[in-house]
């Protein structure tokens, strides 16, 4: 039994791939209040064993989120979307919505070039070099009341 989970790749989640290394502008009413960066992640959990022998679950998709919400007192924070919550989160992102700490925000997803630039400038992360699959073209902020 392996001490650590296997690092074998699992098939990509097509819905999550749309948001791989993407940045979204976060809006509250008509004010831009921050940025969100999405990094897909594969999660595995220990299902049994102890000490030198362990059993691990199959990999499942989740996401790491990096946020900058300066007006809320959070200049930078990170969180994750657990695999069990991913489908609901993707539904919200597709609708241009983001729920965080009891607040509903509108999202404006940016293109690949702007996402790479802002990921570097705001989060200090160099994202992938290749283009992501297209996300709906950037528009004005969504209406949080529609979430």
8 A C-beta contact, residue 93 and residue 72: no
**Would you say residue 58 has pLDDT above 60?**
yes
Q: What pLDDT is recorded for position 48?
A: 85
Give the span between the Cα atoms of 138 and 109, in whole angstroms: 6
Q: What pLDDT is recorded for position 126?
A: 80
**Domain for residue 69, yes or no?**
yes
Return the number of other C-beta atoms located less than 10 Å from residue 16's C-beta: 20
**Domain for residue 72, yes or no?**
yes
pLDDT (tens digit, 9 = 90+) per residue, 22-41? 999 999 988 899 999 999 99
**Domain for residue 5, yes or no?**
no
**Domain for residue 134, yes or no?**
no
Q: What pLDDT is recorded for position 5?
A: 63
**Domain for residue 147, yes or no?**
no
**Domain for residue 110, yes or no?**
yes
Give the residue from 41, 13, 23, 49 showing the smallest Cα distance to 109: 23
Residue ranges making up the domain that contains 108: 14-125
Q: What pLDDT is recorded for position 120?
A: 92
The confidence band for 138, taking pLDDT boundaries of 50, 70 and 90, is very low
pLDDT (tens digit, 9 = 90+) per residue, 73-130? 878 889 999 999 999 999 999 999 999 988 899 999 999 899 999 999 998 888 764 4
**Domain for residue 23, yes or no?**
yes
Instruction: Report the predicted TM-score, pTM, of the whole model to 2 decimal places.
Output: 0.82
Q: What pLDDT is recorded for position 30?
A: 87
**Domain for residue 145, yes or no?**
no
Report how many domains make up the chain. Answer: 1
């Amino acid at each position: 039994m392996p001490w650590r989970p296997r690092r074998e790749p699992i098939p990509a989640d097509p819905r999550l791939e749309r948001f791989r290394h993407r940045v979204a502008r976060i809006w509250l009413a008509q004010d831009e209040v921050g940025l969100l960066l999405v990094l897909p992640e594969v999660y595995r959990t220990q299902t049994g064993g102890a000490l030198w022998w362990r059993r691990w679950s199959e990999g499942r998709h989740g996401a790491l989120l990096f946020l900058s919400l300066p007006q809320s007192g959070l200049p930078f924070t990170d969180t994750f979307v657990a695999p069990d919550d991913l489908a609901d989160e993707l539904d919200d992102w597709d609708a241009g919505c983001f729920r965080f700490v009891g607040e509903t925000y509108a999202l404006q997803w940016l293109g690949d070039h702007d996402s790479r630039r802002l990921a570097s400038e705001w989060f200090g992360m160099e994202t992938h070099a290749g283009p992501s699959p297209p996300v709906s073209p950037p528009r004005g902020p969504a209406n949080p009341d529609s979430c």
